[in-house]
Amino acid sequence: MTTRKLRSNFPRGSYLWSVRNAQWRALGIPEADCEKPKIAIVNSSSELAACYSHLDGIAKLLKEVIRGAGAVPFEIRTAAPSDFVTGAGGRGAYMLGARDLVTNDIEVAVEGAQLDGMICLTSCDKTVPGQLMAGARLNVPTIMVPCGYQASGEYKGKHVDIEDVFIGAMHAITGNMPVEELVEMSREAIRSPGVCSGLGTANSMHIVCEALGMALPGSAPVAANSAKMMADARAAGLRIVQMVWDDLKPRDILTPGAFRNAVRAVLAIGGSLNTVKHLQAVATEGHCGVDVYGLFEQLGGATPVLAGVRPIGEHTIEQFEAAGGCRALMKQLEPLLDTTVRTVTGGTVADNLRGVAVADPEVIRPIARPVAAQPAIVLLRGNLAPQSGLTKTGIVERKQRRFTGPAICFWTSDDAIAALKAGLIRPGHVLVMRGAGVCGGPAMGGGASRVVFAIDGAGLGEQVAMLTDGHLSGLVCKGLVVAELSPEAATGGPLGLVRDGDTITIDLDARRVDADLSDEQWESRRAEWRAPALVHDIGWLQQYRRTVGPLPEGAVLVRADPAGSS
């Protein structure tokens, strides 16, 4: 085995060596182990949500593997946000706000202790990008371990999962589903630990980890606690020790070509819109000089959709895994990928794809026979989105690709849903829900997804369009919704200047979203604009609001450095 000087080692008998030795001897760590690689096992275990409830068992396995490979494991903990649990407080702001908290948790433990590498147990939506961001920021050898999706249930002889419960809750609010039926669905939707079983943000980000080259090939997606997941974790535990000796670091892997590959993979599965800002955040933290929003705009029209997994299609995540998962998807995409980029294996994407066969080409189709030729994710611009706006069009060809109608505006999801129940939102309206951006929410709290599903529950899904500066759950694929309009309303963005009755046009072919206002009207409204009152401006959310950067930089808590740094 190759050896090198480790940053965690200090001269024997020095102050740092002596006090660390004293601490570690009290933990049962032999003095000789002070010279071995020291690996952080990043664990977001929590008893608050099923997403995280199995991670302690994986951490225990990894400790044994890492010790057996000649290194010393140290388990560290981070925040563990779950949309369906920690989304209750702060109008949902603690969800995205916790992503950067995870990154900082890791920095304090790994950089503070000068550990040599880390293996990250990826689970729910925000922990995955938070861990990737930490890897990019700290630039110590890092490997991601996808920890799996939960088993779904059955209700009245039909598949039921957390997405169905989420949609059902909004249908119940609008009076289109009996509450008791929703209660019964909630009892059956989740039957094991793991993340949401649809292709929401969590599974999309697990696939991103592999497509970026930061997880072992063939490890995403995977059923939680399955024999395969445990085997993948064991292989990752062995691999991280060698990565430390080889000094293979994230910025060796997170190259422009790697980001292009990850964007291609997301587009090819019609993954979560949230992957866009998360990938941009990773690029920003790593000073990689990559414009991820520009990549989605550039590659969208040239990347066919090759898999239709719930919620954009009818196939299940289990079927996608059985067909070969991310590795099979990348095999089908191979002519469009940069196969020269390096991965955590030490080899290239080409090496990882050599000899790979797609187990079911109906589930993961070849480029010549896609599920849909039109992009499932579209970036729009226009006078309402000078920087960007995102929409997930799905894989069903829309008959109406241009929607024009009068605006009806709201600053909260509660007000929008109340208006919906009162019959104030009618066919032809463009519902504007604002004040839900990274500053206004703050942290994109605001419940935009609730409004989308409430519109669907009211039977208006194809008759009402929606604009928001908030973000959407990765499970949302309903109606014509343009989200994450930037700059946001709370900072004076154009969406905050729209008034009831203004004519708004969304044009998917032109990739534009515009309000029919003259230059004089825009100028007059800007002069009259006043910032809305701050909400949830205490504690962590106050700190987040004051330090968060704009969406085009990934909404991170660091300054972007286009010139790059080491």
Q: Which residue has the tokens 């800007």?
A: 526
Whether 514 contacts 382, CB under 8 Å: yes
Q: Which residue has the tokens 């226009």?
A: 382
Residue 155's H or E segment, with its range, is strand 153-155
DSSP of 494-554: GGGG--TT-EEEEETTTTEEEE---HHHHHHHHHH--PPPP-S-SHHHHHHHHH---GGGT
Q: Residues 6 or more apart from 108 whose CB is under 8 A from it?
A: none
Q: Which residue, 43, 38, 34, is CA-closest to 106?
A: 43
Q: Residues 6 or more apart from 359 whose CB is under 8 A from it?
A: 322, 323, 324, 328
Whether 42 contacts 122, CB under 8 Å: no
Residue 278's H or E segment, with its range, is helix 274-285
Residue type at 109? A
- Catalytic residue set: 473
Whether 131 contacts 42, CB under 8 Å: yes
* φ/ψ of residue 168, rounded to 5: -60, -35
CB count within 10 Å of CB 190 equals: 22
β-strands 402-410, 153-155 pairing:
unpaired
How buried is residue 206: exposed, middle or buried, by Cβ count under 10 Å (0-12/13-18/19+)? buried
Whether 281 contacts 129, CB under 8 Å: yes
Q: Which two tokens stand for residue 94?
A: 């603690």
Residue 409's H or E segment, with its range, is strand 402-410
Q: Cα(452)–Cα(480) distance, rounded to whole angstroms? A: 9
DSSP-H helix ranges across 46-195? 55-68, 93-106, 112-113, 127-138, 162-173, 179-188
Mapped onto helix, strand or coil, the DSSP state of residue 194 is coil
Whether 427 contacts 308, CB under 8 Å: no
Q: Cα(61)–Cα(222) distance, rounded to whole angstroms? A: 17
